[in-house]
Amino acid sequence: MAAFDHLRALLAGALISILPTMVCAQTAGEVERCFQNPAGCASGGGQPSPSAPAAAAPRASIPDYTSVLQSPDSERRKIQESLRTLEKYNGPIDGNLQSEATMKAIADWQRGHGYAQVGKLTPSEAQTLIAEAARVPIKRIDPSSQAAASPQAPAASSNADALKALQTRLAARRKAVEPWAEAAAQSLVQDLKAFVAADGKGIAGEQFAGFAKWYADNKAAGRTVGDITPRIDDYGEAKTGVATSAEVHFETKQGDKTYLQCLVFAWIESKPRKATQAFACDDVAGVEKWKTDQSLRSDWR
């Protein structure tokens, strides 16, 4: 027994010399207990001694919202497109994840998935959102239902229909101004007849020099003037008043022969008439130039 006690003392001394750090923290009695029961020793893998401080608890990680907000524009637009696919967002696809509409849509999506409703996404949340949208089936429109829902487009009108519509509009415009146009033409005819009755004298010859010359030429040829019939050529607003142009047919006689002659009278309604001109009926260019010069806006054509 004495020899065993002596051996135990030697082993304890050896442990003290080998483990100086342990000696600093433990007494000789504790070293001996550690030798007898290694599992109870703090350095042997067992529970720490009561005097050892407890390990600090790990701190909670802060969610990373910055990575998604600073991601490339194409990725931010993809997030908005995914929100639209999931019917959470109907705003513009502009990559602005901090707009009110986008943040509201993100918060709505987060609420449905149990995430914190902050209106911003962590990288893992963004991946989940995009993946979810990718699984949504493409909505296809049924052509038959679409055709039934939308009204039938009107058939394209033909040229004949367009012409008929134009003629209808012109007829309506003519009817509205016809009383004034006819009154202007009849007033001219009265002056022309008075000029003929006076054998080349009167206001018609003074205002329409071309008509006075025409009358003189026919008189020189031995012709007399019979019936005078007007037909309105054009009527409408001009730059200095209401403009009228009338095609007037003259029945002239020479012996037993009858001739039909035609003049176009153009003037601005006034007392006396202004910008008066008389043209041969085949002088279309002259008549149209007069209308252009007067800036005529026709109610007749």
Which of 85, 116, 134 corresponds to the end of one domain? 134
110 and 17 together in one domain: no
**C-beta of residue 23 within 8 angstroms of C-beta of residue 7:** no
28 and 83 together in one domain: no
Q: Which amino acid is at 56?
A: A
Gap between the Cα atoms of 247 and 262, Å rounded: 7
35 and 74 together in one domain: no
Which of 110, 134, 158 corresponds to the end of one domain? 134
197 and 282 together in one domain: yes
175 and 294 together in one domain: yes
Question: Does residue 215 fall inside a structural domain?
Answer: yes
- pLDDT digit string (tens) for the chain, length 301 residues: 555 555 555 555 554 554 444 444 455 556 556 555 655 555 444 454 455 455 555 566 799 989 999 999 999 999 999 999 999 999 899 999 999 999 999 999 999 899 999 899 999 999 998 998 888 887 665 555 555 555 665 656 678 888 888 888 878 888 888 898 899 999 999 999 999 999 999 999 999 999 999 999 999 999 999 999 999 999 999 989 999 999 999 999 998 999 899 999 999 999 899 999 999 999 999 999 999 999 999 988 7
For 287, the token pair is 């008549």
173 and 216 together in one domain: yes
Q: Which residue, chain included where needed, has tokens 């914190």?
A: 116
35 and 70 together in one domain: no
User: Which domain, by its residues, includes 123?
Assistant: 66-134
Q: How many CA atoms lie within 13 A of 19 on its CB side?
A: 19
Question: Does residue 149 fall inside a structural domain?
Answer: no
Question: Does residue 76 fall inside a structural domain?
Answer: yes
Question: Does residue 1 fall inside a structural domain?
Answer: no
33 and 71 together in one domain: no
CATH number of the domain at 87, please. 1.10.101
**C-beta of residue 257 within 8 angstroms of C-beta of residue 203:** no
Percent of the chain as helix, strand, coil, to the nearest 5: 50, 15, 35
Q: What is the pLDDT of residue 23?
A: 42
Question: Which residues touch 183 (CB under 8 Å, ≥6 apart)?
Answer: none
DSSP letter (8 states) at residue 275: E
Question: Does residue 207 fall inside a structural domain?
Answer: yes
Q: What is the pLDDT of residue 296?
A: 92
The number of beta carbons lying within 10 Å of the beta carbon of residue 205 is 22
Gap between the Cα atoms of 23 and 17, Å rounded: 8
Q: What is the pLDDT of residue 30?
A: 60
Which of 134, 152, 180 corresponds to the end of one domain? 134
Q: pTM here? A: 0.47
186 and 294 together in one domain: yes
289 and 218 together in one domain: yes
Beta strands in 122-256 (DSSP E): 224-238, 241-254
Question: Does residue 156 fall inside a structural domain?
Answer: no
Question: Does residue 146 fall inside a structural domain?
Answer: no
73 and 180 together in one domain: no
Question: Does residue 59 fall inside a structural domain?
Answer: no
Q: Which of 257, 267, 203, 192 is CA-nearest to residue 229?
A: 192
246 and 130 together in one domain: no
How many independent structural domains does the chain possess? 3
Q: Which of 231, 232, 251, 254 is CA-nearest to residue 243?
A: 232
